[in-house]
Amino acid sequence: MKKKPVMIFLALAAALAGLAAVRGQEKAAPAQPRNIVIFVSDGLRSGSVNAEDAPTYYSVRTQGVYFANSHSLFPTFTTANASAIATGHYLGDTGDFSNTIFTGLPEYWGGAFGKPPGTFTPYIENDAALADLNSQFHGNYLNEETLLSAARERGFNTAAIGKMGPAAIQDVSQLSEVGGRFAMPQTVIIDDGTGTPDGAPLAPEMAAALIGAGLPTTTPVRDQPTGNNVTPGTKEPNTRQQAFFADATTRAVLPMFKKNGKPFVLLYWSRDPDGTQHFQGDSLNTLVPGINGPTSRAGLKNADNNLKQIMDYIHADPQLSANTDIFLTADHGFATISKHEIDAEGQVTASYSAKCVYRDIHGRQEVNTGFLPQGFLAIDLAHALDLPLFDPSGQIAGPDGKKVFEPVDPTIAQQTASIRQYPAAGNGLIGGTGRIAEHTDARVVVAANGGSDLIYLPSRDPDLVRKIVNILAEQDYVDGIFVNDEYGIVPGALPSSAIRLVGASPLPSPTIAVAFKTFSTDPKNPIMTGVQISDYNLQQGQGMHGSFGRANTFNFMAAIGPDFKKHFVDPAPISNADVAPTLARILGLELPSHGKLVGRVLREALAGGPASVSFSHHTGISASSSNGKKTILMYQKAGEQVYFDRACLASGAGKSPRAKCP
């Protein structure tokens, strides 16, 4: 008998509940503790790596282990995957569901850093926002031990250097506030905020090491213009800031670690190629070349130069080289932004939000005619539900003089001092009064995140959940819907547990996660020419991630060092959740767990490990929504561990599921 869709995804959810912490027979940890360098190349697509643009990455890929079937976790965002790299847990356990989330309380509600109450949807690529989350959730919002924390507790030197937010997440419990300021961390944290009130302070020894190396103790400001709908963005990579991070690593941090003689775990988080791909000005309002132009390639070269500088330092010392493992990963892939076309045939969006005209307070048209504005999902949902919309990122004086969140009305002629036409950061509070209080009275909260958005229902109304799913299934830019398991079977959607968004985290789990449409401009090279609808403030032709297309889930991963095989291509699926368990095994560290959604040790990649591990491909299919649409999920399994390739929303008739969701 043919299995019904309900049975298919119930079986999928049951299979995903298993734990795949299989111990292998690879060599035991060496008597002398290893050193570990984790180099994260933000937004690096596996297909970008070649001998010309990225010779250092290419060398590691060919000389060490190349993970040819690698995966980002969905949502394919930075802090989400940073939490997985840090802990080895999937997002249902870490609670870091995306770069922008809903925590249940306004940001800084407790008065952290002397700041007044802020948004209900904080953007957490920010040290103060992370410290505030820690204050709300028992000093460590991830609720799981990180690799750096475990190493630090065992006497290792530890450092997290690079992009603000994901770097500090590697030992996030070290971000705390005392008397309106950051407390002194025990791990070295050097990021965008270093030397300013926005960043964790440097220990005197570390500050002296920077000064002794002729380096500043304040991070240079990133200088890359974003552009707008009529002005191209940057034509230069983030060279100056990243040169400081690389110099700090090789001229101050590593020499200090070497001098004191203790083993170390160091993570370097390169903002490029991500930052340059986001802001590049090579393709304003056009999908070609998109993120494949010369500026993006320069951003990749910039990151490659940083990697080379760090590896050259290590290899210059034979003892250090012989005892240091280097693991390369990327938090996610990337795609070119579309705000207009929704498929490769050139069909354009017909959504309500794209039919409005958006002008700034001076009357300049900010969004091209027929294009999606930032916050399109919040606007379209509010319109379909016939409820008022408020911007949680903006506050104005209310009738009684108290602050309230700014109302949003896309139908007015232009933005005013008290009414926006679209949410400033895309987030939305739908329904309620817009009041600022400990708990929102909104019926629906939208956390906008680029290639996918998160929807929360504070009222937990099951009828409203089903209504919203039907609305989403009608939108021409939607490409996959996942609903929290507490609502049971919802036609048109798969359960959130199918993608491991339900676990042990104390943070509110999204009620609905919605992925936006993806396609490609070249069917012969679909991953490298990926395009996605994006709920973000960048323009068509610039770059974004967050979707559930393979262009976003296929990140670059490789490893080299004494504990890894040489000249080995690993065809098995792996993900960012596998990094910490593998490196913990090498270091002989135990990572205690609250949750069970953990990655696996990459036994097949380790010296002395098995030649291969078996894996298989699978498809999960939801029941049909009211308009006949089904969410289709394609994934792989190695043992009971799961790896997510692609999800889409497709009609029930015609081609096979895999053909509908290429």
pLDDT in tens, 588-639: 999 999 999 999 999 999 999 999 999 999 999 999 999 999 999 999 999 9
pLDDT tier for residue 23 given thresholds of 50, 70 and 90: very low
pTM for the complete prediction?
A: 0.95
What is residue 180's predicted lDDT score, i.e. its pLDDT?
Answer: 93
Q: How far apart are CA 643 and CA 655, in angstroms?
A: 24
Across 266-282, b (16+ Cβ under 10 Å) vs e yields bbbbbbbbbbbbbbbbb
Beta bridge partners of 618: 635
For residue 133, report the phi and psi dihedrals to the nearest 5 degrees.
-60, -45
pLDDT cut 70: percent of the chain above it: 94
pLDDT cut 90: percent of the chain above it: 92
Tell me the pLDDT tens digit for each residue of 226-244. Answer: 999 999 999 999 999 999 9
What is residue 661's predicted lDDT score, i.e. its pLDDT?
Answer: 78
Q: Output the CA angle 153-159-165, nearest 5 degrees.
A: 105
Find all residues with CB under 8 Å of 432, minimum gap 6, and list them: 388, 390, 440, 441, 442, 443
The conformation of residue 297, written as its DSSP 8-state character, comes to H
For residue 372, what are the CA distances in angstroms to 281, 353, 543, 549? 19, 6, 15, 20
Of the candidate ranges 1-5, 294-298, 418-422, 609-613, the one whose mean pLDDT is the lowest: 1-5
For residue 164, report the phi and psi dihedrals to the nearest 5 degrees.
-60, 135
94 neighbors 87 (Cβ within 8 angstroms): yes
Sheet holding 512-516, edge to edge: 403-408, 389-397, 428-430, 444-447, 452-456, 512-516, 478-483, 494-495
- Checking if the pLDDT of 11 tops 80, the result is no
Q: Coil, helix or strand for 221?
A: coil
Query: Both tokens of residue 288?
Result: 């070609």
Query: Which DSSP string do the residues of 428-456 spell out, in sequence order?
Result: EEESS--B-SSS---SEEEE--BSEEEEE
What is residue 401's predicted lDDT score, i.e. its pLDDT?
Answer: 85
Tell me the pLDDT tens digit for each residue of 484-518. Answer: 999 999 999 999 999 999 999 999 999 999 999 99
Q: Which helix (H) or strand (E) holds 172?
A: none
Tell me the pLDDT tens digit for each residue of 48-86. Answer: 999 999 999 999 999 999 999 999 999 999 999 999 999
pLDDT tier for residue 651 given thresholds of 50, 70 and 90: confident
- Checking if the pLDDT of 288 tops 50, the result is yes
- Checking if the pLDDT of 387 tops 90, the result is yes
Find all residues with CB under 8 Å of 418, minimum gap 6, and list them: 396, 406, 407
Tell me the pLDDT tens digit for each residue of 441-456. Answer: 999 999 999 999 999 9
What is residue 216's predicted lDDT score, i.e. its pLDDT?
Answer: 98
Pick 634 or 662 by higher pLDDT: 634
- pLDDT averaged over every residue in the chain: 94
Tell me the pLDDT tens digit for each residue of 185-226. Answer: 999 999 999 999 999 999 999 999 999 999 999 999 999 999
- Checking if the pLDDT of 382 tops 90, the result is yes
Q: Measured between alpha carbons, how far apart are the two ends of the chain, in Å?
A: 27
Q: How far apart are CA 535 and CA 562, in angstroms?
A: 43
The conformation of residue 249, written as its DSSP 8-state character, comes to I
CATH of domain 35-93+139-337+551-605: 3.40.720.10
What is residue 31's predicted lDDT score, i.e. its pLDDT?
Answer: 62
- Checking if the pLDDT of 580 tops 70, the result is yes
What is residue 658's predicted lDDT score, i.e. its pLDDT?
Answer: 67
Burial class from Cβ neighbours inside 10 Å (0-12, 13-18, 19+) for residue 155 reads: exposed
- Checking if the pLDDT of 130 tops 60, the result is yes
Sheet holding 641-651, edge to edge: 616-621, 629-638, 641-651
385-407: average pLDDT: 94
What is residue 32's predicted lDDT score, i.e. its pLDDT?
Answer: 74
